[in-house]
Structure 1
Amino acid sequence: VSHLVFSGSAIRCVKCKDYTGSCTKSQDCSYEDACLTLTERGGQTYRQCVKYSDCDYNRLAQMFPAVPNFYYNCCTGDLCNGATSIGTGKPLLGLLASLAVMWWCMH
């Protein structure tokens, strides 16, 4: 069940930086945050809280200056930025691509 960011309730997000997507650490976020999954092309995945208003490619590029080429996903449910599978992370990449296409088609 997703909770909208604007409902006033804080969420929890997975927080880590790794290559596998199997991390289990989490952090409490503020009510105006979303959970970010930011993946370097061919590299690491960063997971953490981020202000919902910063869920924009240009804003994230400023926040992650060492990551020149990435794609990202923001979501607003508890621990929604956790990996869906443990392993190489390739199934997750396909899922993120599918979600991006679905999001693009809906807007």
Structure 2
Amino acid sequence: FFSPQSCLQRIHQGLVFYEKLLGSDIFTGEPSLVLDGPVGQLHASLLGLRELLQPEGHHWEIEQTPSPSPSQPWQRLLLRLKILRSLQAFVAVAARVFAHGAATLSP
């Protein structure tokens, strides 16, 4: 059984992982995917969530996740689709964790 802190830490690690992917050449290698577009907004949202999960002065150990290796232009479309599907599943699980936590805090 996971403690609430370990669940939040794992979600934080996932957010860091997806931030790195969204900032990699898989997404930034396309001029059409500008920073103020949907991908940039998604990246900013992940950063905001990560900051909410880690209160100021509290630092979780972040496992060293390797930065994605450079991709070839022909790989990027498929990789983007896989990453976005995976992120969608991750967000669904994180939402369930938050919903459960909120339900257990209610009187």
Does the alignment reach a TM-score above 0.5?
no
Q: Which has the higher contact order (CA 8 A, sep 6+)?
A: 2
- Higher helix content, 1 or 2: 2
Q: Which has the larger radius of gyration?
A: 2
TM-score by length of 1: 0.33
- Higher strand content, 1 or 2: 1
TM-score by length of 2: 0.33
